[in-house]
Structure formats: C-alpha cells, structure tokens
Amino acid sequence: MGKYDDAMYQFLSDNERFADLFNGVLFGGRQVLHAEALEGDSERYVLERPDDVQPVSLKKGAPPLKTENRFRDIKKRMKCGTGISVLAIENQATIDYAMPWRIMQYDYLEYHQQIRTIENRKRQRNKDGKKKRAGFETKFGEKDKLHPIYTLCLYHGTERWNGPRSLRDMMDCTGNEEFCEVLFHDYRMTLVCVEDLKDLSVFRTNLRLLLETLAARRDRNKMKELFKGREFSNLSVETARTIAIMTDNMRVLEKIEHNEKGEVNMCQAWDEIMEECKAEGMEQGIEQGIERERVSSIRNLKANLKMTTEQAMKALNIPENMFAYYLQLV
C-alpha cells in the first residue's frame, strides 16, 4: 500500500467509520449497517495458479499447484439474524483501469473460499462419521448457500476518475455489438469518488470531517475556512493525522506527532504553517515566478507523460512538505 491507502486503511478499519461509509453512500445516512454487528475478517485469499504444463488435478503424485496471495484492503463480516454478509472496501489513491476486473477477482475468491469451506466441513463430517457417504455428497449441494459479499471501491485521488466502472467498460465489442448486448454478463463495481459526493451531512462520524477536507484540498482558502469550524478545533490525533497525510500537509503531521494534549486545533496549526511558509520566502518565490514555473512543469508532465500530480512533483524534486501548496496551485 502507499501512504494514502495505509492512512485510509487505518482510519476505515474502525467499525463505526466502516459502517458510516456504507450507510452514507448506499442508504443516504439511514442506519442500516450497525457497527456492533461487524467483526474483522481475514483479507487474505490464496489463488491457485497452475503452470501451463501442470495438471489441474491433485491426484497422488501430481506436483502441487502454485499459489499466489491476494489481499483485500478491508474486509468485515456482518451478522444479520442467523445469516452473515461479507462487506469490503478497496481504497484507491490512483486510477486503475482494470479495477472492475480486480473487484470481480476478489469477489470470486471470496465465494471460492466459502465453497471450499463448506466442502471441507462435509468431508470432515464424513471422515468422523460411522456411515461413509459417496464423494459427490461432500460437494457443494442443492441446499448449500453462500454468504453475499458487498464491495465498495473508494477512490480518493485528486485526478478525475476516467476509468471503467464495470467489466463491460473494459470490453472491445467492435464488430459483435449485438452478441455483447445479448450474451455478455456484466460485472459492475460500486465506485465511490470522494470529490463527487454531494451531501456529506449523511455521514455521522468524523469520517465526514475527512471527506470535507478532501473535497476542499484544491483550494487553500476553502480549507482555511473549513478549519475555522468548531469541529476542527478539537480533533482527535488520529483524525488530524489522517487529514494531514491525505492532504500532503507534512508540516501539520510533524506538529501532530509532537502533540501531547490528545487533541488538535487544525485552524491554529494551519495558520502557524502559513506563517512559517512566508518566513521561508514562499511568498517571495511566487513574486519571482518560481512557483509559476513549477506549476507549468507539473502540468506539462501530467499532460505529456501521463504522470499524476504527486509523481510530477517528485520528478521535479519539490519538497514533500510543499505538496499540498502546489496541489492547490495546480
């Protein structure tokens, strides 16, 4: 994971925030998913990958299948009555043009794992029981059911999402459009683009404060006004740290790391940093055209080499503690 995905992973692993995201995005804020019904679940899957020359069967003496690990970002189980549902979040800081396929693969591996668990349980009962059953009776059967899985792809990058939103968007059906229309089975992912969220009041936890900040990160004045709000005057260190990382405010992060009060005033921290930047000659740099030149270079790298804003800033050796500043200028 990158630093943004790591920060979001830590923040959204909390059951209250995890439930808040699903309730706000899917149900307009109605409390359909409850934090107390959630429990952590393993994010690891084992993908069996036979070589071209390897037999698929695992008969005695056959070489074992090679395996690869696949990891979801966050996965939880929800108890609902006597049933169980599986909920997952995939964090994306950059555009992935194969994202629908990735989501489909994760969901497939989850269902595959459930089927294997059911069959293994049947085989164990068969082994422990006095009456042996035929082999087919240990397979997934008519009365067996799977737990449904619901996956959200949360995109929090700064670039506008122009990638596919479904498997169909990845297809080239040129010349056989009619077949595609009739026979192709689509797989649509649930994509949530942070900057496209309209009504943030549906979120009830401090997730809303993070989302509000991400929506304002391109506008320095808008962020400053946002931080003047009462809720930003006494943020938990965890929330403030996540906001600092997600907005590339490394100087705020440094102040947070040395904070011993247990809460952070973001407006005060922001004002202090702006004063420090002025003292270091940032304003003089603007007058001399240094920032203007850098902004132009960033835009050229993005347009010609298809770099993200962060990649372009790194290529130009712009100090990391100034990323947020240039992100607003770009």
Least reliable range by pLDDT among 14-28, 35-49, 81-95, 274-288: 274-288
pTM given for the model: 0.75
CA-based torsion, 172, 195, 85, 127: positive or negative: positive
Cβ atoms of 67 and 52 closer than 8 Å = no
User: In angstroms, rounded to a whole number, what is the distance separating the alpha carbons of residues 39 and 32?
Assistant: 16
Q: Which runs of E-coded beta strand occur in 51-109?
A: 66-71, 74-80, 83-92
Average pLDDT over residues 170-175: 93
Average pLDDT over residues 6-22: 94
- 54 to each of 45, 68, 69, 183, 236, how far by Cα in Å? 21, 15, 19, 32, 54
**SS3 label, residue 164:** coil
CA-based torsion, 277, 279, 283, 288: positive or negative: negative
Q: Quote the pLDDT of residue 306.
A: 82
Written as six digits, the tokens of 220 are 């320095």
Tell me, yes or no, whether 110 and 139 share the same domain. Answer: yes
Cβ atoms of 100 and 166 closer than 8 Å = yes
Q: Give the end of a domain, one of 164, 194, 224.
A: 194
Tracing tokens 């706000």 back to the chain, one arrives at 24
Of the candidates 99, 95, 119, 96, the residue with the CA atom closest to the CA atom of residue 107:
99
Q: Quote the pLDDT of residue 83.
A: 77
> Among the ranges 31-45, 110-124, 163-177, which has the highest mean pLDDT value?
163-177
Q: How many CB atoms lie within 10 A of CB 22?
A: 20
Q: Which residue has the higher pLDDT, 98 or 68?
A: 98
Q: Quote the pLDDT of residue 217.
A: 86
Average pLDDT over residues 93-100: 94
User: In angstroms, rounded to a whole number, what is the distance separating the alpha carbons of residues 326 and 294?
Assistant: 8
Tell me, yes or no, whether 66 and 212 share the same domain. Answer: no
Tell me, yes or no, whether 178 and 54 share the same domain. Answer: yes
DSSP secondary structure code for residue 14 in this structure: S
Q: Quote the pLDDT of residue 142.
A: 87
Q: Quote the pLDDT of residue 55.
A: 39
Q: What is the pLDDT of residues 58-79, one digit of tens each?
A: 445 555 556 667 788 899 999 8
Q: What is the pLDDT of residues 186-245, one digit of tens each?
A: 999 999 999 899 999 999 999 999 999 998 888 878 888 888 888 888 888 889 889 988
Q: Quote the pLDDT of residue 276.
A: 65
Tell me, yes or no, whether 150 and 247 share the same domain. Answer: no
Q: What is the residue range of 254's domain?
A: 203-329
Tell me, yes or no, whether 245 and 310 share the same domain. Answer: yes
User: In angstroms, rounded to a whole number, what is the distance separating the alpha carbons of residues 195 and 95?
Assistant: 14
Cβ atoms of 212 and 200 closer than 8 Å = yes
Q: How confident is the model at residue 153 (pLDDT cuts 50, 70, 90)?
A: very high
Number of domains in the chain: 2
- 137 to each of 56, 58, 133, 229, 297, how far by Cα in Å? 22, 19, 6, 63, 66
Tell me, yes or no, whether 181 and 242 share the same domain. Answer: no
Average pLDDT over residues 78-94: 87
- The dihedral region occupied by 289, where left means phi > 0, alpha psi between -120 and 50, and beta the remainder, is left
DSSP secondary structure code for residue 206 in this structure: T
Adjacent-strand bridge partners of 89: 74, 152
User: In angstroms, rounded to a whole number, what is the distance separating the alpha carbons of residues 301 and 324?
Assistant: 18
Tell me, yes or no, whether 236 and 219 share the same domain. Answer: yes
- 12 to each of 2, 205, 248, 300, how far by Cα in Å? 15, 11, 19, 35
User: In angstroms, rounded to a whole number, what is the distance separating the alpha carbons of residues 213 and 324?
Assistant: 12
User: In angstroms, rounded to a whole number, what is the distance separating the alpha carbons of residues 69 and 85?
Assistant: 23
Does position 82 have pLDDT exceeding 80, yes or no?
no
Tell me, yes or no, whether 190 and 244 share the same domain. Answer: no
Q: What is the pLDDT of residues 113-149, one digit of tens each?
A: 899 999 888 888 877 765 555 555 778 888 899 999 9
Average pLDDT over residues 148-161: 93
Q: What is the pLDDT of residues 270-320, one digit of tens each?
A: 777 767 666 655 555 555 567 778 888 888 888 888 888 888 888 888 888
Tell me, yes or no, whether 62 and 149 share the same domain. Answer: yes
Mean pLDDT of the chain: 83
Q: Give the end of a domain, one of 142, 168, 194.
A: 194
Tell me, yes or no, whether 153 and 294 share the same domain. Answer: no
Written as six digits, the tokens of 27 are 């149900």
Describe the chain by its helix, strand, coil percentages, rounded to 5: 50, 15, 35
Cβ atoms of 252 and 260 closer than 8 Å = no
Q: Quote the pLDDT of residue 174.
A: 92
Q: Give the end of a domain, one of 194, 227, 258.
A: 194
